[in-house]
Chain A
Amino acid sequence: MSRAPSGRADLLVVGAGPAGSLVAREVAAAGHDVVVLDAGPRFDDEDRTERMAAHLRPDEGSPWPRDPERDGYTTGGRPYPLAASRVKGVGGSTLAWHGMAPRLRERDFELRSRHGVAVDWPLSYADLRPWYARAERALGVAGAADGAEGPPREAPYPMPAFPPSASDRILAEGAASVGLSTRTAPNARNSEPYDGDSPCVGYGTCRPVCPSGAKYTAERTVAAAEAAGARVVDRAPVRRLRVDGDRVTGARYTTPGGDHVQAAREVVLAAGGVETPRLLLLSATADHPDGLANSSGAVGRYFHDHLFAGVGGRVDRETRQHHVGFHTTESHAVYDEADPVVGIKLEFLNDAGPTPVGVALSDGSWGDELADRVREAYGGHLAVGALVEQLPDPSNRVRLDPETVDDTGDPVPRIEWSLDDRTRRGIERANDLQRRVLEAVGADLTWTVDAETAGPAAHQMGTTRMGTDPTESVVGPDCRAHDSRNLWVAGSSVFPTGGAMNPTLTIAALALRLGSRLADRLSGERE
């Protein structure tokens, strides 16, 4: 395929993940010329099962190719495993995501007003609510409105929920005995045929690869965008934005065949919480010495993620782990509490402990000896995980590292990240609840992911934060950069705070809202 630029596009989107593809689909469907550039390749659907097999074999590493020359990075403070926490390519990190699709809760938009910490969003849950409904339809979310704590819904989920698992039923007893309510986990995964795609058939490997196509990936939306007329170009990393005064005129990108410039009337950055601020910083000019859209100095700052905390154990009962690869029950019971102030979402895992094939291929033995070891290693596991909110802190940031360059000679991103005391207290609270639930069902505890060992949940947020004050935020409530007339940002980098919910549904809701407004704006200009 040609990777040469099109004529001046109505819209240029940087990044073909869920945010970029949803914006592209909305704008292309309104009849406008849309070009999407993605840094990574297109992946063939036919390879999906082989990728799963590679994942199941313990010695083969990630099934999604990583290119350390192209995707180099450095870290400062707490280690941040960036390479393991994203996929570059058409579909973006939804290729490898878990597929959990909750909405944020009302409290997440109002942390400053309710608790005096962090900032409020310039939007409320009510503002985003209709877009959440559209996002659930776009991603295909299976769920049930069974959470007593809300948030309010306007319609049922597009598909019925996956029923609670065998281990959910055990853990729900434990949760009830310590006063925790439970609810169905919303999944962007087909519980029945949906929009031409298969229902889940139980491969059990959702993260990092679903061979059946039942889990939503942004490849679906890319296909819809292309059907609506958008042009999606892979292996085309954007390296600089071109500017003229307060307008972005296009982008310079590098392909295997050489460098090109794509001109556009409107430009949306949707390259994720690390590459979006990196591109803005790389695009510094004499007029914008600190980077584009960075008069606030906030580009790259306020980087935050969710922390995964967990406790696991074993019981002398059948727990049916790894039959499926997704959660079916969670608890928001303590999410809105004020002490600790950070949000906590508890998740009952359905993939606790090792897989049979994982044990078989790493043990070394065979025959009855191996079967005995697999049986012993596999059975009876239970685990309760949690996402714990991290409040934004300007010292946690993505910046350019001039000491290290990528394969094109550009400085790589440097992630400076640490945990504050509030987050640590949230992890400790989660661990305490997790232990109590497991002990209530008689589990022998075998592992804990605590404040010292907790890692990020691969939800990079906050680095081009949304706000009304141009001195403290990068984009306004409409997701347009304060400093530009035609530069917009889609994705979790605009989240002022991230709650403790998996971010993709909120990314999708904001992208649909932005796509709709851009379509209207371009249509208005045309008339």
Chain B
Amino acid sequence: MKLSRRDALAALAGVGSASLAGCSGDGSTSLPVDSLVALAETLYPSAAAGHREFVETYVDGRTRGRPAEREALTETVADLNDVAREWYDGRLPGLARADRDTLLREVGVETAAPRRDGTLAERVRRVVDDLLYAFYTSPTGGELVGTSNPPGYPGGTASYHGGR
């Protein structure tokens, strides 16, 4: 099931950032889009497709006008890539999906609580949770688990009583 820009905009609307979505570049730190897409391919179910447009739109909108947030995200991904290079001889985009999955578990992300200024596992967990939030509040993410109108997505008042 293909994730779309509409999905990303819906997810952005659910975090209060929709108005700035979709315009790339704001003169501050550039985003590690390839690595974030690689992460999303690991985090989202295998039935999902269209990760690049979704992730790029969502993360750009989410961090636009928030330079500290953008910097923290970029630094966390860089630190995770350093570990990936050390343990798996390559950055996230070059690793197999199974290796990315294992890397996240080996870093301790599975059991970490999200924390912006925490350990690498805690910082990565924060990034992971934000990408999961985007997916599971989007219409396509909702459809993949059984709802066309997940909480956080303003999907109207038809689906709850059986309409579309």
Which residues of A pack against B, CB within 8 Å? 46-50, 52-53, 56-57, 59, 162-166, 168-169, 191, 199-205, 211-212, 318, 320, 322-325, 328, 350, 355-357, 360-361, 364-368, 370-371, 374-375, 378-379
Contacts and interface: CB of A to CB of B under 8 A. Distances in A.
B145 A204 contact: no
B151 A203 contact: yes
A205 B152 contact: yes
B156 A374 contact: no
Given A163-B161, A368-B45, A201 B104 contact: no
Most interface-central of B46, B146, B160 (chain A CB within 10 A):
B160
Contacts of B22: none
B45 A203 contact: no
A36 B137 CA distance: 39
Interface stretch (B23-31, B70-78, B79-87, B107-115): B107-115
B114 A59 contact: yes
A209 to B, nearest CB: 11
Contact of B156 (A56, A164, A202, A378): A202
Nearest to B41: A367
A166 B132 contact: no
A346 to B, nearest CB: 19
Nearest to A162: B157
Given A49-B14, A367-B44, A202 B159 contact: yes
A379 to B, nearest CB: 5
A348 B80 CA distance: 47
A49 B16 contact: yes
B152 A374 contact: no
Nearest to A351: B151
Contact of B159 (A56, A199, A320, A356): A320
Contacts of B137: 56, 357
B152 A371 contact: no
Contacts of A49: 13-16
A367 B156 contact: no
A202 B160 contact: yes
A211 B13 CA distance: 10
Interface residues of B, number: 43
Contact of A205 (B13, B114, B151): B151
A356 B46 contact: no
Contact of B133 (A56, A168, A365): A56
Contact of A322 (B42, B110, B147): B147
Interface string B133-155: 10111000110111111111111
B129 A355 contact: no
Contacts of B141: 356
Given A166-B162, A361-B132, A367-B43, A356 B145 contact: yes
Contacts of A366: 42-44, 101, 104, 128, 132
Contact of B157 (A47, A48, A324, A357): A324
A169 B72 CA distance: 49
Contacts of B132: 357, 360-361, 366, 370
12 contacts: A47-B16, A56-B152, A201-B154, A202-B156, A203-B151, A204-B151, A322-B147, A322-B150, A325-B151, A366-B42, A366-B104, A367-B44
A165 B128 contact: no
A169 B114 CA distance: 40
Contact of A361 (B129, B150, B153, B159): B129
Contact of A320 (B47, B135, B147): B147
Nearest to A163: B161
A436 B44 CA distance: 40
Nearest to B159: A323
Contacts of B101: 366-367
List the 10 closest A-B pairs by CB distance, nearest first: A323-B160, A49-B16, A371-B45, A204-B151, A201-B154, A50-B16, A357-B136, A366-B43, A323-B149, A360-B136
Most interface-central of A50, A169, A355, A367 (chain B CB within 10 A):
A367
A361 B130 CA distance: 9
B113 A355 contact: no
A328 to B, nearest CB: 8
Given A53-B16, A57-B133, A366-B132, A322 B151 contact: yes
Given A211-B16, A322-B147, A366-B132, 8 more contacts: A200-B157, A205-B151, A320-B147, A324-B160, A361-B133, A367-B42, A375-B146, A378-B146
Contacts of B156: 201-202
A379 B111 contact: no
Contacts of A322: 147, 149-151
A319 to B, nearest CB: 10
A192 B22 CA distance: 31
A203 B160 CA distance: 11
Contacts of A203: 14, 151-154
Contacts of A201: 154-157
B120 to A, nearest CB: 17
B114 A52 contact: no
A433 to B, nearest CB: 24
Most interface-central of A48, A53, A201 (chain B CB within 10 A):
A53
A169 B110 CA distance: 40
Contacts of B15: 49-50, 53
A318 B43 contact: no
Contact of A355 (B110, B148, B150): B150
Nearest to B160: A323
Interface string B96-111: 0000010010000011
Contacts of A355: 150-151
A375 to B, nearest CB: 4
A371 to B, nearest CB: 4
B2 to A, nearest CB: 16
B8 to A, nearest CB: 15
